[in-house]
Amino acid sequence: MEEQKRYFYQPDLTTTIIDWSWTLIILIIGIIIAFEITHFQWITATFIAVFLVVAALQIFRRTVVISPSKMVFNRLLVKEYLVIPTKEIRQPLFTKHTMTITVQGEVMTFSFTERSLRSIQHLLRANGVIKDDEK
C-alpha cells in the first residue's frame, strides 16, 4: 500500500477571495438582521450557525492526499475528487505559500502552510517530479 500524506489547502487567490466573500455575506446578513430587530431572534442564530458550518467546511474539507503515484484534491462543492497523477505534473513552482503546477496544459495554483509546502516539495522530489537542479 502506498504511503499517503494529507494536507489542508486553499485554491488560487481569486477563487479564495470569491468563496470567502460569499461566506462572509451570510454572516453580514445575520448581523444586519440582528441590528434591525434589536434583539436576538432565531433567524439571526440560524444565519450565524450557517456561517460557522460553511466556514468550517471551507477550512477543513479542502484537503489534498499525496501518494507516490497521485495527488487527490477534495474540493468543497464538487462531488468528484480532482485526481492528478504525479507523472503528469509539469513545471512545478513553489513560492513561500503557494504551489503552481501545470497539468495537461492547465495551470493550477494552491495555497498551503510553509511547513506543508516544504513537505510536499520533498515528496515530489522523492517521487522524481522535481529534478535536483530545480528549485
**In a 3-state reduction of DSSP, which class is residue 80?**
coil
- Residue 124 belongs to some domain of the structure: yes
In a domain, 31, yes or no: yes
Kindly provide the b/e burial profile for residues 56-90, where b requires at least 16 CB atoms within 10 angstroms of the residue's own CB.
Answer: eebeeebebebeeebbebbeeeeeeeeebebeebe
| pLDDT reading at 39 higher than 80 | no
pLDDT of 105 higher than 80: yes
Give the whole-number percent of the chain exceeding pLDDT 70: 96
Q: How far is CA 71 from the centre of its chain?
A: 13
Domain of 46 in residue numbering reads as 1-130
The confidence score (pLDDT) of residue 79 equals 83
**CATH number of the domain residue 35 falls in:** 2.30.29.30
| C-alpha cell, 35 | 441590528
Q: Is a pLDDT exceeding 80 seen at residue 1?
A: no
pTM for this model (two decimals): 0.81
Q: What's the confidence (pLDDT) of residue 118? A: 93
Is the pLDDT assigned to residue 21 strictly greater than 80? yes
How many domains is the chain built from?
1
